[in-house]
Amino acid sequence: MMAITLSTLNKLKQEGTKFTCLTAYDSTFSNLASSAGVEVLLVGDSLGNVLQGHDSTVPVTLQDMIYHTQCVRRGNQGALIMADLPFMTYATEEQTFDSCAALMRAGAHVVKLEGGAWLKDSVKKLSERGVPVCIHLGLTPQSVNKFGGYKVQGRDPAERDALIRDSIAAEEAGAAILLYECIPSDLMELIMTKVSIPVIGIGAGPSSDAQVLVLHDMLGATTRKPAKFVKNFMPEGDGSIQGAIAAYVAAVKSGTFPGPEHGFA
């Protein structure tokens, strides 16, 4: 696969072509996913749940993220690598710069931060210094203790307005990508009319430019009840992991995934 860059994603958006994102945490699955056509590999702090056995992403450390980003880089076959900054590694600007530098040196092409308008100054300065940023909005798993659980965000008018303001602020600050998790599908449609940078969704309906799933969830390799927005693609992959990933890519690009049953009102 030709190397995917931010320019590639912007071109796909302009053409109206959907692209795909999938989590990866090691060299083998990085190779399988990128070889199957996944454009963006997310080294997610979700590794705290699916690899380390924690009940949230909060215990994940920066060193964990550096290690797994290095592993994903070694197996990657041309996908853009996006890596999460874990809990409390970007509380101050100086800390943010140090954390981002570590992840970029480990092999990330884009860093992902959870939060709204309070990140505006950091995003602006990172962008000026050549660090592409993805801002994660909606259900932000690092704030699970504040939210009181994993709950759909943006259902009441105040939350909807705040998400729209945060979206516009992030783009104005220089964010390269926006990612929304667990928001109503109609709110995602509205936000898509307010921003011009690539948008990735998970549990946010079909209108975003791309979809992301946790690798283990889309392979049905989970010990917990799947979230509403998850689909197991193994039955569509002829029994092979690479086949399942290819089926996921095809479903996103054709618009058959996510369906109405995977979204929220």
Q: How far apart are CA 247 and CA 174, in angstroms?
A: 33
Closest CA to 48 of 25, 82, 78, 71: 25
Q: How far apart are CA 235 and CA 61, in angstroms?
A: 35
194 labeled binding residue? no
Look-up: residue for tokens 């996921």?
A: 248
Is residue 93 part of the annotated active site? The answer reads: no
46 labeled binding residue? yes
Q: Give me the helices (H) in the chain, please.
A: 6-15, 27-35, 47-50, 62-75, 93-106, 120-128, 144-147, 157-173, 185-192, 215-218, 241-254
112 labeled binding residue? yes
Q: Which helix (H) or strand (E) is 76 found in, with range?
A: none
64 labeled binding residue? no
35 labeled binding residue? no
Q: 181, 189, 236, 261: which one is catalytic?
A: 181
Q: Which residues sit in the known binding site for 3-methyl-2-oxobutanoate?
A: 45-46, 84, 112
Task: Give the catalytic positions in this structure.
Answer: 181
Q: Which residues sit in the known binding site for Mg(2+)?
A: 45, 84, 114
Q: Which residues sit in the known binding site?
A: 45-46, 84, 112, 114
